[in-house]
Chain A
Amino acid sequence: MSSLTRLETKDEFIWLDRFDPRARILAAIMIALVVIFLSGITTLVAGFVAALFLVLSIGFDYQTLIKRLLAFEGFVLLLIGFLPFTVSGDSLFVVFGWTASEQGVDRAVVIFLRSNIIVLSMLSLLGTLEPEELGHGMSRLGVPQKFAHLFLMTARYLDVLLDEYQRLRLAMKARAFHARTDLHTWRSYGWLIGMLLVRSMERSQRVVKAMKCRGFQGQFYLLDDRVWRAGDSLAMGCLALVLLFLCLVEFL
């Protein structure tokens, strides 16, 4: 079981894999930047439909996709549930004495569309990259080396840590532990987390030792032979045109 990994798709190879990871990262950033400035319903709906098409074109394994989306949509639903009642303006309808405003509903729809366009495009463009490709791409885009390596190490050791957590958890279960609402439960969870911290620290010390044994002197290296192709530039150009068109519709 692993958590930080490429989203499952029906085919191993998707059409986006033809492009350099850098292009995919840049595309995701461009889309996000443009979309947060859009507020017209027409452009947002157009963007949302486009994002849906992008998701469909990839052939996700829908179970994992929906699982990932739920974590985010729960938060959005909460937000759009409350917004109509908390933004003041012209009354639209009344629920249990609470008045929903037209402006509030408007705001909620805009936020729903905006956030979903961004999340769906991020999941499609970045979620389908292996964390390793994403790290390499970021580093070649000029993200500080420290950050890139921190990200790559996290991706590398998250599974190891998760394994350790599951082993501890299993050992607790094997001794008939189940969560109750009492002090014993809280204390046991405390120990579990404490143990994980201690083990992670010990592991990090061992990793440093192993690195020193191979002559580590503070310098990390990335080897990556992806080349930026004409196709990448072309795709970036097309995306820029589409985004520009959306902006024109919105602001003219």
Chain B
Amino acid sequence: MTQAPLIKLDKVSFGYLNRNVFENVNLELHRGERLALLGGNGAGKSTLLQLIVGLNKRSSGGIYAFGKDRSEERDFIEVRTKAGMVFQDSDDQLFCPSVLEDVAFGPLNLGMTKQEAIDRSLQTLESLGLSELANRITHKLSGGQKRLVALATVLAMKPEVLLLDEPTNGLDDSAELRLIELLESLDQAMILVSHDQKLIERLATRAVILTDGTLVEAVLHKHPHHHEHSHVHIHAKGSEQHHAHDPELEVHNDL
């Protein structure tokens, strides 16, 4: 790739309390990429994500983002506006009384006037199909709505990169699907921290795994595979017991 990466970590290490969480991590994110960041619990995925925007301080190594080397808190203020972070728990992200105020918080911080910020927020909400939530009180939203609004608060700042920390965590199937479809329609480069197979399968263009304190490139591949297995099917009570499943999709042995 000839274009300079949007974000580049060069031999970055992080540790606290004399314990190294990860060492010599190299990572590049290019325009148009959706990078899945995988790894077990406590591997330091969220930490790595927060390190990119300077919320955690690295012990050593260089961070290059949006055309510049970033080291001081001052440098990262700009990084944070260009790399929008969506937090795992939306209650952490939504702190304003109303949805509109929360979405407008970022644009106002960018120095927009109130009217500009309101217009931008309403546009953003509309583009996500959330217009009707504008005047709702944030803590009375459902979990799925909160996550979408949290995404809106970040998108309202028109970031070039999205950093998503377990975006589908705690969502039910329909909310999850809606979020995945929304994310798929966005053209920002993304780093996705997730365990969600569906999300990674639909979105990721590349994957890396954080394991044993180092980051290694993973291979994302798809190949047709065919296996016969039994698994539990859950249907509403009263529906017919012996029903056919589409043989094209899978081979089923109903229990």
Q: Which residue of B lies closest to A160 (CB)?
A: B91
In the complex, what residues of A have CB within 8 A of residue B104's CB?
Answer: 221, 223
Q: Is the CB of B55 within 8 A of A213?
A: yes
Q: Which of A153, A209, A215, A223 contacts B114 (CB 8 A)?
A: A223
- Please judge, given known A-B contacts A130-B137, A209-B50, A214-B109, whether A153 and B77 are in contact too, CB under 8 Å: no
Q: Is the CB of B97 within 8 A of A136?
A: yes
Q: Does B37 contact A (CB under 8 A)?
A: no
Taking the closest CB of chain B, its distance from the CB of A58, in whole angstroms, is 21
Q: Does A184 contact B (CB under 8 A)?
A: no
Q: Is the CB of B139 within 8 A of A210?
A: no
Q: Is the CB of B137 within 8 A of A132?
A: yes
Bound-state CA distance A133–B108 (Å) is: 21
In the complex, what residues of A have CB within 8 A of residue B108's CB?
Answer: 219, 221
Q: Which residue of B lies closest to A6 (CB)?
A: B137
Bound-state CA distance A213–B56 (Å) is: 12
Q: Does A135 contact B (CB under 8 A)?
A: yes
Bound-state CA distance A166–B55 (Å) is: 30
In the complex, what residues of A have CB within 8 A of residue B80's CB?
Answer: 212-215
Q: Is the CB of A215 within 8 A of B106?
A: yes
- Report whether over half of chain B's contact residues are helix, strand or loop; otherwise say mixed: helix
In the complex, what residues of B have CB within 8 A of residue A167's CB?
Answer: none
In the complex, what residues of A have CB within 8 A of residue B14's CB?
Answer: none
Stretch in B82-90, B173-181, B231-239 touching the partner: B82-90
Tell me the number of A-to-B contacts counted with CB atoms below 8 Å: 86
Taking the closest CB of chain A, its distance from the CB of B90, in whole angstroms, is 9
Q: Which residue of B lies closest to A222 (CB)?
A: B101
Interface centre among B85, B101, B104, B157 (most CB of A within 10 A): B101
In the complex, what residues of B have CB within 8 A of residue A157's CB?
Answer: 91, 95
Interface centre among A214, A215, A221 (most CB of B within 10 A): A214
In the complex, what residues of B have CB within 8 A of residue A131's CB?
Answer: 97
Interface residues of B, Cβ cutoff 8 Å to A: 50, 53, 55, 77, 80-81, 84-85, 87, 89, 91-93, 95-98, 100-101, 104-106, 108-110, 114, 117-118, 137-139, 153-154, 157
Interface residues of A, Cβ cutoff 8 Å to B: 130-132, 135-136, 152-153, 155-157, 159-160, 203, 206-207, 209-217, 219, 221-223
Sample of 15 more A-B contacts, CB < 8 Å, known A211-B105, A214-B106, A223-B100: A131-B97, A152-B96, A155-B97, A156-B138, A159-B139, A160-B139, A207-B95, A209-B50, A214-B154, A215-B80, A219-B108, A221-B101, A221-B105, A221-B108, A222-B97
